C-alpha cells in the first residue's frame, strides 16, 4: 500500500484540527475509548457538540486554550492508502511547527473560514507550502454550514485564492467546499452543495498521483555511515550505508565520489535481506564499490555526468525559526544531507513580505517567522541541487552553536 503524507495549514480557528478529527471519525479510524474521552471532555465543557479537535490537540495547554500549539501526527488507512497526517497550528507564534509538519508533506490542506475569507495567515501558509514545495495544495473552504452552503461565497474565495496562488509556484491546486463540523464533502459528497461537482476531500486524497513527485532522474547517494564489520566472515567488507536521495542506482553503474572526484563502479547494493537490483528514494541501502577509495560520512556518490553543484557558497531562501533574530555576519552550524559544517551569513539579499510578496532589500535581519534570501559561506563544500529539483539535496537547517536550537530552515536556489 502506498503512503501519503499530508499537513493542514491555515489561520487560527479555521477548523484544521476539527477537519482531521472529522476525517478520522468518518473513516472509522477513531477507537471507542478515544471517542469516549473526547465526548466526556466536550460534555464537561458544556459544548453542544463533540469537539473533534480534541482528538489531535493532545497537550494539556492545547486543550485548555482550545488551540493547536505543536504538530500532532495521526494515522489512518483506507483500502487505497495509508495516510500520515500532520495537524499543524495556525497561530503565527507557532509557524515553525507548521513548517515542521509541512516539510515532508505530499499534500497541504489549506483551510479558510468561509465567513472570513483569506486572511494574512492563510496567505502566509499558502506561501510557506509553496516555498517548501509541497507538490499538491488543496484549499478547503470550511464552515460552509455557517454561510448556508452558498456557492457565491465559495466562488469568491476560490477565485481570490487562485489569483494569489498564481503568483506562487504551486504545482497542483484543488478547491473543495467543506464543513469540518458536519462532515459535508469530507468523506462523502454532500447533498448540501449540489452545485459542487468535484470529489470529496478523502476521495481526492486517495486518488492523487504522487509517485512522480520524487526525483528519479538525478542519482544522489549521501553517505551516511560506513559499515566495516571487521569480523572473520566479513574481514575486508566496506559498505557505504545511506538513504537514496534521488535517481535510481544499479550494480554496475559508473559513479564518482564527491568531494574527492574519484571514479568507481557500484559492485553491489545490499541489505540484510539480500542484494537489490535497483535502489531509489527513499530506500535505505548499503552500497559497495569496486575500488577501495577513502569515503566517509558526508561524501556523496553520484553519476559522472550528472553531478550536484559543489560549492562553499550557497544561495537559499531561509525561514527563520527562532525568537533570537538572525545575526548578519553570524556563524551557525549547518546540516545538509549527512554533512555538518559551519556557515557564515554573508548577505541578506532581501526579506520577503509573505502577504504581498514584496522584496525588502533594506531589511537588516530576519526575525522569527520571517523569510528571506541569504547568501552563506560554508567551511566545507556542500553537494547541492536546487530545492525545486530535489527536496533532500536542496534543503538544510541552521543550528545555533551555543544554544543548539534549530534556528533556520533553508531551501537552496
Partner 1 sequence: MTTSLYELGHLDALEAEAVHVFREVAAEFERPVLLFSGGKDSIVMLHLAEKAFWPGRIPFPVMHVDTGHNFPEVIGYRDRRVAETGVQLIVASVQESIDQGRVREQTGPRASRNPLQTVTLLDAIEEHGFDAAFGGARRDEEKARAKERVFSFRDEFGQWDPKNQRPELWALYNGRRHRGEHIRVFPLSNWTELDIWQYIGREGIELPSIYFAHLRRLVLRDGMLLWPNEHVPLLEGEETFEATVRYRTVGDVTCTGAVESPARTVDDIVEEVAATRITERGATRADDRASEAAMEDRKREGYF
Ligand X SMILES: Nc1nc2c(ncn2[C@@H]2O[C@H](COP(=O)(O)OP(=O)(O)OP(=O)(O)O)[C@@H](O)[C@H]2O)c(=O)[nH]1
Enumerate binding residues for Mg ion (CB under 5 A).
16-17, 68
344 binds, among Mg ion, partner 1, ligand X, none (CB under 5 to 8 A by kind): none
Out of 112, 137, 141, 399, the residue judged to bind partner 1 by CB under 8 A: 399
d(CA 225, CA 216): 23
Cβ proximity to ligand X: between 191 and 277 the closer is 191
Out of 231, 252, 292, 294, the residue judged to bind partner 1 by CB under 8 A: 231
Stretch that binds partner 1, among 107-115, 186-194, 329-337, 357-365 (CB under 8 A): 329-337
d(CA 285, CA 393): 17
Contacts with ligand X in 276-295 (CB under 6 A)? none
312 binds, among ligand X, partner 1, Mg ion, none (CB under 5 to 8 A by kind): none
91 binds, among ligand X, Mg ion, partner 1, none (CB under 5 to 8 A by kind): ligand X
Stretch that binds ligand X, among 141-149, 155-163, 206-214, 328-336 (CB under 6 A): 141-149
Out of 71, 118, 175, 186, the residue judged to bind partner 1 by CB under 8 A: 71
Q: Which residues of 116-132 are buried (b: 16+ CB within 10 A; e: fewer)?
A: eebbebbbbbbbbbbbb
From the CA atom positions of the chain, what is the Rg in Å?
A: 23
Stretch that binds ligand X, among 84-92, 193-201, 219-227, 311-319 (CB under 6 A): 84-92
Closest CA to 311 of 246, 224, 384: 384
* Residues whose CB falls within 8 Å of the CB of residue 346, separated by 6 or more in sequence, listed in order: 313, 329, 374, 375, 376, 377
Residue 337 backbone phi and psi in degrees, to 5:
40, -120
* Residues whose CB falls within 8 Å of the CB of residue 87, separated by 6 or more in sequence, listed in order: 7, 8, 16, 17, 20, 56, 68, 71, 72, 73, 74, 101
The least CB distance from residue 204 to Mg ion, in Å, is 21
Q: Binding of partner 1 at residue 25 (CB under 8 A)?
A: no
The least CB distance from residue 127 to partner 1, in Å, is 16
d(CA 82, CA 169): 27
Q: Say if CB 257 and CB 309 are below 8 A apart.
A: no
Cβ proximity to ligand X: between 112 and 382 the closer is 112
Q: Binding of ligand X at residue 150 (CB under 6 A)?
A: no
d(CA 365, CA 355): 18
| 369 exposure class (CB count in 10 Å sphere: 0-12, 13-18, 19+) | buried
Instruction: Provide the 10 A C-beta neighbour count for residue 83.
Output: 23
60 binds, among Mg ion, partner 1, ligand X, none (CB under 5 to 8 A by kind): partner 1
Cβ proximity to Mg ion: between 88 and 103 the closer is 88
Q: Say if CB 316 and CB 374 are below 8 A apart.
A: yes
Q: Binding of ligand X at residue 126 (CB under 6 A)?
A: no
The least CB distance from residue 239 to Mg ion, in Å, is 44
Contacts with ligand X in 175-234 (CB under 6 A)? 179-181
Contacts with ligand X in 23-62 (CB under 6 A)? 51, 53
Contacts with ligand X in 88-107 (CB under 6 A)? 89-91
13 binds, among ligand X, Mg ion, partner 1, none (CB under 5 to 8 A by kind): ligand X
Q: Binding of partner 1 at residue 379 (CB under 8 A)?
A: no
Contacts with partner 1 in 253-282 (CB under 8 A)? 271-273, 278, 280, 282
164 binds, among ligand X, partner 1, Mg ion, none (CB under 5 to 8 A by kind): none
The least CB distance from residue 74 to Mg ion, in Å, is 12
For the record, the C-alpha cell of 406 comes out as 534549530
350 binds, among ligand X, partner 1, Mg ion, none (CB under 5 to 8 A by kind): none
- Judged by CB under 6 A, the number of residues near ligand X is 21
- Footprint on this chain of ligand X (rule: CB under 6 A): 12-18, 51, 53, 67-68, 89-91, 142-143, 145-146, 179-181
Amino acid at each position: 500500500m502506498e503512503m501519503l503524507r499530508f499537513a493542514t495549514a491555515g489561520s487560527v480557528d479555521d477548523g484544521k484540527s476539527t477537519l482531521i478529527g472529522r476525517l478520522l471519525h468518518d473513516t472509522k479510524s477513531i477507537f471507542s475509548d478515544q471517542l469516549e474521552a473526547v465526548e466526556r471532555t466536550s460534555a464537561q465543557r458544556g459544548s453542544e457538540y463533540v469537539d473533534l479537535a480534541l482528538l489531535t490537540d493532545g497537550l494539556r495547554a492545547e486543550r485548555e486554550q482550545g488551540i493547536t500549539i505543536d504538530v500532532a501526527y495521526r494515522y489512518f488507512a483506507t483500502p487505497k492508502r495509508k495516510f500520515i497526517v500532520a495537524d499543524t497550528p495556525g497561530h503565527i507564534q507557532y509557524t515553525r511547527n507548521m513548517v515542521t509538519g509541512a516539510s515532508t508533506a505530499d499534500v497541504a490542506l489549506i483551510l479558510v473560514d468561509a465567513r472570513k475569507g483569506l486572511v494574512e495567515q492563510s496567505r502566509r501558509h499558502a506561501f510557506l507550502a509553496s516555498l517548501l514545495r509541497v507538490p499538491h495544495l488543496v484549499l478547503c473552504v470550511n464552515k460552509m454550514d455557517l454561510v448556508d452552503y452558498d456557492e457565491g461565497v465559495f466562488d469568491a474565495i476560490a477565485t481570490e485564492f487562485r489569483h494569489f496562488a498564481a503568483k506562487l509556484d504551486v504545482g497542483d491546486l484543488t478547491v473543495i467546499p467543506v464543513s469540518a463540523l458536519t462532515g459535508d464533502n469530507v468523506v462523502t459528497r454532500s447533498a448540501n452543495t449540489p452545485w459542487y461537482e468535484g470529489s470529496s476531500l478523502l476521495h481526492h486524497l486517495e486518488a492523487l498521483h504522487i509517485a512522480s513527485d520524487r526525483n528519479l532522474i538525478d542519482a544522489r547517494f549521501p553517505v551516511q555511515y560506513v559499515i566495516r564489520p571487521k569480523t572473520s566472515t566479513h574481514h575486508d567488507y566496506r559498505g557505504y550505508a545511506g538513504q537514496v536521495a534521488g535517481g535510481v542506482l544499479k550494480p554496475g553503474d559508473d559513479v564518482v565520489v564527491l568531494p574527492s572526484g574519484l571514479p568507481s563502479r557500484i559492485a553491489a547494493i545490499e541489505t540484510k535481506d539480500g542484494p537489490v537490483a535497483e535502489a531509489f528514494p527513499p530506500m535505505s541501502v548499503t552500497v559497495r564499490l569496486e575500488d577501495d577509495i577513502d569515503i566517509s560520512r558526508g561524501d556523496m556518490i553520484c553519476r559522472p555526468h550528472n553531478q550536484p553543484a559543489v560549492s562553499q557558497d550557497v544561495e537559499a531562501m531561509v525561514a527563520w525559526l527562532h525568537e533570537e533574530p538572525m545575526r548578519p555576519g553570524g556563524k551557525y552550524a549547518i546540516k545538509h544531507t549527512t554533512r555538518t559544517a559551519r556557515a557564515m551569513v554573508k548577505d541578506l539579499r532581501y526579506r520577503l513580505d509573505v502577504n504581498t510578496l514584496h522584496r525588502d532589500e533594506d531589511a537588516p535581519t530576519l526575525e522569527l517567522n520571517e523569510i528571506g534570501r541569504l547568501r552563506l559561506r560554508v567551511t566545507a563544500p556542500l553537494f547541492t541541487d536546487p530545492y525545486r529539483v530535489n527536496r533532500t539535496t536542496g534543503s538544510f537547517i541552521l543550528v545555533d552553536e551555543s544554544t543548539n536550537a534549530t534556528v533556520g530552515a533553508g531551501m537552496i536556489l
